[in-house]
Structure 1
Amino acid sequence: MRRRIEDYAVVRGFLERVCRQVGANSMHDDIREELLGHIEERAEALISAGSTEEEAIGEAVRQMGEPEGIGRHFHAAHRPVTDWKLIILVMLFALLGVFASINASYSEHMYSGIYAYKAVYLGLGFMVFVMLCFADYQRLRKYSSTLFLVTLSIMAWIGITGGTTVNGSGLYVNFGPVSINYHMVALPVLLIALAGLSLEHKQGIIKSVLHGMYRGALPVVLFCLGGSYAFAVLYVLGFLLLTWIMTRSGRILAIASMPVVAACAIAFWINGDYILKRLSGFLYPDSLDGYFTKVSAEAVRTAGWFGHGFAEPNAALPNILNDSAFVYLIYCFGWSFGMMLMMLVGLFLARMWRIAVSLKESYAHHLAAVVIYVLGIRLIWPILMGLGLVPALGLDLPFLSFSGANQVLDLALLGLLVSMYRRKNMLPARVV
C-alpha cells in the first residue's frame, strides 16, 4: 500500500501542510516517512474493518489530527539549539584577554596600545565565529580530501621556498599587514580534514599502511622540515586519537602508527640536539636552556595570593603577551587570580565535552574531538608550562595571550562546535 498511499491527494496535501511548519528542511523526508507509516497502519486497520481503501485513507488522515499543529510539534523537536553557556564562557575569556593586554600594555612601553590590536583581532574572530555558528558544518566534509592535500602542498611550498621571518621563525605567511604562522594553522586544519576522510574499521593492511604514510607520516615530516617539532608531536597525538575514534581497532592503530613512529625516529635522529635541549631546560631549570622555567617559577613563587599589582613590570619574564601571559597574570594578581583562571579553563573544557557527548552524528563526533583536542592542548599546556610542570613549547594561551591572528582560528574552531550543537536535532536518520 505504501507506494499507492503516496499518490492520494489528501495524503500529499496533509504531508505538505505538516512539512511547511518545519524549518529543518533536511528532516522533511524522515518526517514524511514517519507520518506515512502511521497513516498506512490506520488505513489497514480500517480496511480490515470493512472500509474501502479510499475511505480508509481519508479517515486515517483525519485521525492524524490538525497538520499545522503536528508540524509545529516536529519543528520544536528539530529546531536549532544554542549552547549559551559556552558562548558566555567565550565572551568572558575574550574580556579577560583584553584586560590582560591592557595590563601588559601599561607594563612595558614596547607594548603600548597593544590592546587595541587585540580588540580588532577579537572583532574579526567573532565575525568568523558567528558565520560558522549558522553555517552547515556537514558541507565541509566533501572538501576534506582537497583541504588535506592543499594544506600539505602549502606546507611543502613554504618549507622549500621559505616564508616570512618573524621572531626568528620563517614559517609565517603575510596577508596584508597580518602575519600568520602557517604551521599553527595547519595543525587544526589537517586534523579537521582528517576527521572527514573515510576510514573503515575492517580495512586491510595495505590501506592501513597508506593511511599511516600519507595522512600520518607525511605531515610529520613537513612539520619537522619547518622546525615545528612541537606541532609534529601534537599532530601525531591527534592523528592517533582520530584513528582510534574512527576505527576502534587496535590492529589498524598499530599498523597506521608504524610509518608515523618511523618518521618521528628519523626527525629525532636528525635534530635530536634541539629536542634534548628542550628537555634539558625542563629537567635542569638552573641551566642556560632552563631560563624560561626558572624565571617563571620565580615569578609565581613571589606572587603571593594577591600579586604585585596592576601592570607591575617584570623584566625577567620573556614575552609577557604570549609565552609568559599566564605567569605574568599570576605575578600581577596573585595565586587567587591564577586559580580562578584555571577553574574557568576547567569549566570551558567541561562544557565543550558535554556538547561533544550530546552529538548523535559520527562526523560531528570526529570534528568535536578535533576541536576539544586542539583547544584543550593549547589551554592546558601553557598553564602547566608556566607552572614548570611540562617542557616549554611555543604555544600561546588562547584568548588570554595576545595571540594575534590565532584568535580568529580559535574562534573559528568554537564556531564549528556551536554549529554542530545547533544542528544536532536537525539531521536525518540516514546520517546519524
Structure 2
Amino acid sequence: MAHRPQLDWKLLVMLALFLIIGLVGMVSVYYADERYSVSLVERKLFYFGIGVLFLIGFYFLDYRKLKKYSAPVFFLIVILMVISLVYGQLHDRRTAYINIGPIGVNMITFSLIPLLLALAGMKPASQWGRWETILNILYRGVLPVVLYSISSSIIYTYIYVIGFLVLTWRTSKSMKQFAVISTLPFAGLAIFLCTRTDHLLLRWREFMNPSAKEMWYMGNNADAIQAAGWFGQGFGQATPKIPYVLYDNVFPYLIYCFGWLFGIELAY
C-alpha cells in the first residue's frame, strides 16, 4: 500500500535545486582554492551521475520484492562491518573502509540504510517466541549498536536504535513485550554515550560558545557566517578557514559566498 510510484513534482524540483546548489558550491570551492584540481570536479560529477541513476532505479523499485532477502542482507552487512572494523584500511591507515578494487567503501556509513531495510523485512515482533525474542534482541538490536559503538559513530547508533525501536513497536503485540525488547538496545546506547562523555561535553561547549578561540570547528564557521553580510562575498571566494568545506560545511560556505538572504531562503 505504501509503494505508489507516482511522480511528486514538488519533491523532484526541490531535489534538483539542492543538487544544483551543491554543484555550484563545489565549483566555487574549486575556483577559490588552488589546492583542488579539475579532477575533483570530474570525480564529483561522476558520482553525481551515479547517484541520479540509482535514484531513478530505486524510485521505481517495488521494495516488497526485497523482503525475502532481508535476513541474508542483514547477515552480510553485519559481517562486512566486522571485517571493516578488524581489517579495514585506506591509504595504509586503519579505518572502517573496505577496498573494492580502486574504490574504498566506508562500511559503517554504507551499512545504515541496508540494515534498516533488512529490519523492515524481519518477522513481526508479535510472532516471536521466547527464544526468538532473545535472539532478535541480541542479534538485531544489540550487535549493530555494539559495532557502531566500536566505530565511535554516535549519530548512526542513534538512528539505528530509533529505527529498530520503531519497527518493533509497530509490530509488537503489547507494551510489555516492547518494553522487554527495548531494554537491551537502550542499555547499549546508554553505555556507549557514557564512554563518550568528554566528546559530548566538548560538542555542547562548542554549540553554546561557538566564537571561543579553542572551539575552532564551530568558531570558524560562525566567523565565516558573520563575515558574509546580507549579500555575501561573491562566487569563488577563498574559504575563510572553514573546516571540511566540501563535506560537512558546504552550507556555511554557501552563506559566506552568497549572503544571509541566500541562507535564509535555502533554510526556508
The TM-score with structure 1 as length reference comes to: 0.55
1:228–1:96 distance in 2 versus 1, CA, 3 Å: same
2:15 aligns with 90
How has the CA–CA distance of structure 1 residues 285 and 96 changed in structure 2, closer, same or farther, with 3 Å as cutoff? closer
2:176 to 223, 243, 251: 251
The corresponding residue for 1:81 is 6
* Superposed counterparts of 1:30-179, under 5 Å: 81-113=6-38, 114-164=40-90, 170-179=95-104
1:102, distance to aligned residue in structure 2 (A): 0.6
Q: Which amino acid aligns with 1:309?
A: G
Going from structure 1 to structure 2, the CA distance change for 1:109 and 1:245 (only over 3 Å counts) comes to: farther
Is residue 29–residue 239 contact of structure 2 (8 Å, CA) maintained in 1?
no
Letter in 1 for 2:163: G
2:126 corresponds to 1:222: no
Q: How many Å separate the matches in 2 of 1:109 and 1:324?
A: 19
2:255 paired residue number? 330
The answer to whether the Cα contact below 8 Å between 2:88 and 2:98 also exists between their aligned partners in 1 is no
CA–CA distance in structure 2, aligned partners of residues 289 and 252 of structure 1 = 47
Which string of whole-angstrom CA distances, capped at 9 and with x for unpartnered residues, describes residues 345-404 of structure 1?
A: xxxxxxxxxxxxxxxxxxxxxxxxxxxxxxxxxxxxxxxxxxxxxxxxxxxxxxxxxxxx
Measure the CA separation in 1 of the matches of 2:134 and 2:204: 31
The alignment partner of 2:95 has SS state of strand
Tell me how far 1:327 sits from its aligned partner.
0.6
Contact 2:236–2:257 (CA under 8 A) maintained in structure 1: yes
Partner SS for 2:98: strand
Note the C-alpha offset of 1:277: 3.4
Checking the alignment, whether the CA contact within 8 Å between 2:89 and 2:98 is kept in structure 1 is yes
Aligned to 2:160: 235
TM-score (norm 2): 0.86
**Structure-2 separation of matches of 1:248 and 1:204:** 12
Give the partner amino acid of 2:165.
L
Question: Residues 142, 298 of structure 1: CA spacing in aligned structure 2 closer, same or farther, 3 A cutoff?
Answer: same
CA offsets 1:34-77 (integer angstroms, 9 cap, x no match): xxxxxxxxxxxxxxxxxxxxxxxxxxxxxxxxxxxxxxxxxxxx
1:203-238 deviations in Å (ceiling 9; x for gaps) = 566544443322111101011112223322222222
Partner of 1:282: 207
1:179 aligns to what SS in structure 2?
Answer: strand
CA distance in 1, matches of 2:158, 2:214: 20
> In structure 2, what residue type is equivalent to 1:221?
V
SS at structure 1 position matched to 2:97: strand
Q: State the alpha-carbon separation in 2 of the partners of residues 204 and 306 from structure 1.
A: 62
Distance, in Å, in 2 between the alignment partners of 1:289 and 1:215 is: 40
Q: Is the 8 A contact 1:240 1:257 kept in 2?
A: yes
Higher relative CO (CA 8 A, sep ≥ 6), structure 1 or 2?
Answer: 1
Unpaired stretches in structure 1, ≥5 consecutive residues: 1-78, 344-432
Gaps of 5+ in 2: none
